[in-house]
Structure 1
Amino acid sequence: MDLLVPVLFALGAALSNALATVLQRKAALSVPRSDSLRAGLMLDLLRRPVWLAGMATVIAAAVCQAVALATGPMTVVQPLFVLELPLALVIATVLLHGRLSPSGWGAVGAVVTGLAVALFAASPEGNRTHAPMDRWIPVLAVCAAVLAGLVLAALRRPEGRGRAACFGLATAVAYAATAALMKTSMHTLDDEGVTAFLGTWQTYGFALFGACALFLLSNAMQAGPLVASQPAITLGDAGVSLALGITLCAEHLRGGWWVPLQLLGAAVIAAGVLALSRLPLARALTGEGRRAAPAEAP
């Protein structure tokens, strides 16, 4: 299977999302803090070219993700999105005049290396374009039940790491479900045209789950520290997407002695993401600790 096109578009989506994060944060920092309480904040941001550029890159990311999912397996495309946080931090060192310490660069390298090892060891194959309803119904039922359970668990906890982690995992499930539904609807668009795309239930399904993911993401960011929510989102999205790719799209990974190598790669990714989410620069990008400078002490 030729994976060049989906890999390039997935990397383009990750890069666009990372750039959007930095541009929108740059625009937000240009608004005086007192303005954040005014109803006209959004109007102020809309007048800033940097904010508009950030919105344009969000759209570009969505298009790139759609093309990647339409041309490649979920088990390849979605794990590549773990690169968003490292890419955002690298871009922020330039646009926000931040600085990564040697340990920060080491964490970036760990995520990239771990991802390369995990994907090489897994060597995903298979790419069913349309899943039958007898697969969709139990998968979506489980996703909805898990989402409800995680949200209830989050609401029962006070603000802090536990609440943020629960909302983060819920966001990851919603992201993965969105990707699975988007994949099918994009194949419908490619095979049957716009009318069929607008008539298939998966199109409205991914719009619903996508909106749910954005809502849960905002709650995860507000519920507690980034070190709790970001690993849950990043690693949860990749893990659930792997499960959905195998379950819905008949994709499979290499087994046998390759499994320990896959787990090693995943562990390295997890360690890198956890280290990155602790950095002051990462917290500045998400608005955590508004008074903190975007530079990192060595």
Structure 2
Amino acid sequence: MVCALAAAVCFGTASVLQAVAARAAEPGTGSGVDPALLMRALRQWRYLAGLGLDGIGFVFQIIALRSIPIYAVGAALAASLAVTAVVAARLLKVRLSGTEWGAVGVVCLGLALLGLASGAEGSRPGSTALTWSMLGVAAAVLLVGAVAGRLPDRARALVLGLGAGTGFGVVEVAVRLIDGFAPGALVANPATYALLLGGGAAFLLLTSALQRGSVTAATAGLVLGETVGPAVVGVVWLGDRTRDGLAWLAVLGFAVAVSGALALARFGDPADPADPGQPSPAGA
């Protein structure tokens, strides 16, 4: 759980740097899958620093996924929104409302409950059908991104965020489906390609979602995509369980943590220009 929280700190800090870099890049085509936008963002040191933190966070994420259930890791990663809010408040001088600080506290409470209730990771091996399904879902994420480019701004941001969250969810499940990290085993395992394709597609979609459209809608879709689906897969197909008699506490903690993260999804949307008294996180 400590590694999962460390990953959330890395991902949350990286989000601040990447969001600033993505919005400073020249506008793209409006497509959900826009590799050119990613290349423009890569020219900025903030985006590169964010990628470095993402890499460190991914190492922590792998350790956590090999030790505790997916639902616990997913909820902890959703807590990166709380980290993003706190880091933005400290480094970018963004003023958080009392409601947003309350949501940060709710996320922490949910994670504490989840940590108390979580058991060890499931011992059930993933089936071949599940492994190939993850590869198919990763490919579908790219198709969703291409279709999302034709949607209105807010709908596009929501679909792109949900697609990005689904891609990151594929990564979470794929890590559990990889039996060994020897080069030969990795090359022969479809889960390896699902991990690479899902992660790459998620980065493309998330960069486009942050660059245009509603940050609220994109972040809400991201949280739902990377928590609910992988948690169900972990429980139903991989055997993730809770400590004896504490299933209700795990469900409560998961719901509280994700609800707090969704409440924080509003963080980052610009305030109404007609209301100068409101904070404007996106402006920072």
TM-score by length of structure 2 reads 0.75
1:118-151 deviation digits (Å, cap 9, x = unpaired): 5545x3454237412144345655x369748855
Residue of 268, 275, 285 corresponding to 2:263: 275
Contact 2:26 2:40 in 1 (8 A): no
Q: CA deviation at 1:206?
A: 0.7
- Contact 1:176/1:244 (8 A) holds in 2: no
Change (3 A) 1:258 1:274: same
Output the CA distance in 1 between the equivalents of 2:241 and 2:190: 26
Is the CA contact (8 Å cut-off) linking 1:172 and 1:234 kept in structure 2? yes
Q: Does 1:167 align with 2:191?
A: no
Q: Distance in 2 between matches of 1:164 and 1:27?
A: 17
2:241 is paired with a residue whose SS is: coil
Mapped partners of 1:99, 1:224: distance in 2: 22
Describe the shift of the 1:83–1:158 C-alpha distance in structure 2 as closer, same or farther (beyond 3 A). Answer: same
Q: Are residues 1:18 and 2:12 paired?
A: yes
Partner of 1:200: 189
Q: Name the CA shift for 1:254/1:69 in 2 (closer, same or farther; >3 Å).
A: closer
Which 10-residue stretch deviates more, 146-155 or 69-78?
146-155
Alignment of 1:279-298 (within 5 A): 279=267, 282-283=268-269, 294=281
Q: 1:72 to 1:203 in 2, by over 3 A?
A: same
In the superposition, relative to structure 1, how do residues 127 and 223 fare at CA in structure 2: closer, same or farther (>3 Å)?
Answer: same
Quote the residue 1:4 is aligned against.
none
Structure 1 pair 205/44, CA: closer, same or farther in 2 (3 Å)? closer
How far apart are residue 164 of structure 1 and its match? 2.1
Cα distance in structure 1, aligned partners of 2:247 and 2:123: 23
How big is the shift at 1:258? 4.9
- Which of 2, 10, 13 matches 1:8? 2
- The one of 216, 235, 240 equivalent to 2:205 is 216
72, 80, 83: which is aligned to 1:84?
80
Q: Are 1:117 and 1:265, in contact at CA under 8 Å, matched by a contact in 2?
A: yes
CA RMSD in angstroms, aligned pairs only = 3.8
Alpha-carbon separation, structure 1, partners of 2:86 and 2:234:
30
Residues in 2 aligned to 1:233 and 1:28: alpha-carbon distance in whole angstroms: 17
In structure 1, C-alpha distance between the alignment counterparts of 2:216 and 2:184, rounded to whole Å: 44
Give the TM-score normalised by the residue count of structure 1.
0.72
TM-fit CA distance, 1:68:
1.7
**Contact persistence 1:75–1:124 (CA under 8 A):** no
CA contact (8 A) 1:45 1:51 kept: yes
Q: Does 1:188 align with 2:180?
A: yes
- From the superposition, tell whether residues 256 and 248 of structure 1 become closer, same or farther in structure 2 (CA, over 3 Å): same
Choose 1 or 2 for highest CA Rg. 1
AA at the equivalent of 2:92: L
Q: Could you say which residue in structure 2 is the equivalent of 1:3? A: none
- The question of whether the paired residues in 1 share the 8 Å contact of 2:219 and 2:265 is answered with yes
Alignment of 1:248 with 2:242, yes or no, is no
Cross-structure match for 1:232:
221
Quick one: distance in 2 between partners of 1:129 and 1:171? Answer: 27
| Distance in 1 between residues matched to 2:39 and 2:143, nearest whole Å | 33
Supply the distance in 2 between the matched residues of 1:43 and 1:163 (Cα, whole angstroms).
21
The DSSP-based 3-state class of the residue aligned with 1:128 is: coil
Map 1:76-115 onto structure 2 (within 5 A).
Answer: 76-115=72-111
Asked whether the 8 Å contact 1:136–1:248 carries over to 2, the reply is no
Contact 2:79 2:257 in 1 (8 A): no
Counterpart secondary structure, 1:104: helix
| CA drift at 1:277 | 2.3
Cα distance change of structure 1 residues 213 and 132 upon mapping to structure 2, 3 Å threshold: same
CA shift, 1:209, in A, is 1.2
Question: Per the alignment, do residues 219 and 51 of structure 1 end up closer, same or farther by CA in structure 2, a change over 3 Å counting?
Answer: closer
Write out per-residue CA displacement over residues 186-220 of structure 1, whole angstroms, 9 at most, x where no aligned residue. Answer: x411xxx3332344332222101111111222333
Tell whether the 8 Å contact from 1:100 to 1:295 is kept in structure 2 after alignment.
Answer: no
Query: Number of residues paired by the alignment?
Result: 268
Matched-pair contact (CA < 8 Å) for 1:21–1:54: yes
What is the percent sequence identity of the aligned residues? 30
Give 5+ residue unaligned stretches, structure 2.
Answer: 28-35, 271-278
CA–CA distance in structure 2, aligned partners of residues 70 and 42 of structure 1:
32
Question: 1:247 and 1:135, CA in 2 relative to 1: closer, same or farther beyond 3 A?
Answer: farther
